[in-house]
């Protein structure tokens, strides 16, 4: 079974609009972490936001927020006020277990295109 599922292979959004990228996860471990990364065409992976399984509030980092719905095992990324530079691949990832050095499992990604 897939541990991380991103069902949207591609998304379009107009500049200055908000967009939600979906991510669902599957784990029986009570301790886990959820991540979103951005990969521009240059190839490097850029960390965007992190949510711990015990965090009470949804994580926010500037224009990025994570809509964490634990019971539904959902960790959607919301980008507000989209910019042309947001066009990239976006990956959701999960770390199972309590240790920071445990491995990360990635989803297949969503390609976001922002148009003027």
Partner 1 sequence: DGGITQSPKYLFRKEGQNVTLSCEQNLNHDAMYWYRQDPGQGLRLIYYSQIVNDFQKGDIAEGYSVSREKKESFPLTVTSAQKNPTAFYLCASSGSGTGHQNEKLFFGSGTQLSVL
Examine residue 32 and tell whether it contacts partner 1 (CB under 8 A).
no
Q: Which CB sits closer to partner 1, 6 or 82? A: 6
Task: Report the residue from 13, 35, 88, 94 that binds partner 1 according to the rule CB under 8 A.
Answer: 35
Give the DSSP H or E segment for 52: strand 46-52
Examine residue 108 and tell whether it contacts partner 1 (CB under 8 A).
yes
Examine residue 79 and tell whether it contacts partner 1 (CB under 8 A).
no
Examine residue 28 and tell whether it contacts partner 1 (CB under 8 A).
no
List, in sequence order, every residue forming a beta bridge with 74; answer none if it has no partner. 24, 69
Q: Which stretch binds partner 1 (CB under 8 A): 17-25, 67-75, 78-86, 101-109?
A: 101-109
User: What is the widest separation between alpha-carbon atoms in the chain?
Assistant: 43
Examine residue 43 and tell whether it contacts partner 1 (CB under 8 A).
yes
Q: How far, CA to CA in Å, does 7 sit from each of 22, 44, 56, 102?
A: 7, 23, 26, 25
Task: Report the residue from 13, 95, 96, 112 that binds partner 1 according to the rule CB under 8 A.
Answer: 95
Please give the Cα distance from 84 to 14 (Å, whole number).
Answer: 9
Please give the Cα distance from 4 to 74 (Å, whole number).
Answer: 10
Q: Looking up tokens 């634990």, which residue turns up?
A: 70
Residues binding partner 1 (CB under 8 A): 6, 33, 35, 37, 42-45, 47, 50, 52, 91, 93, 95, 99-109
């Amino acid at each position: 079974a897939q541990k991380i599922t991103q069902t949207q292979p591609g998304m379009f959004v107009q500049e200055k609009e908000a967009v939600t990228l979906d991510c669902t996860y599957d784990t029986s471990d009570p301790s886990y972490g959820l991540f979103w990364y951005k990969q521009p065409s240059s190839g490097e992976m850029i960390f965007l936001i992190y949510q711990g399984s015990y965090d009470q509030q949804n994580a926010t980092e500037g224009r990025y927020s994570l809509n964490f719905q634990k019971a539904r095992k959902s960790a959607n990324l919301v980008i507000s006020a989209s910019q042309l530079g947001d066009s990239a691949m976006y990956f959701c990832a999960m770390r199972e277990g309590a240790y920071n050095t445990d491995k990360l499992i990635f989803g297949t990604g969503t390609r976001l295109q922002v148009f003027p």
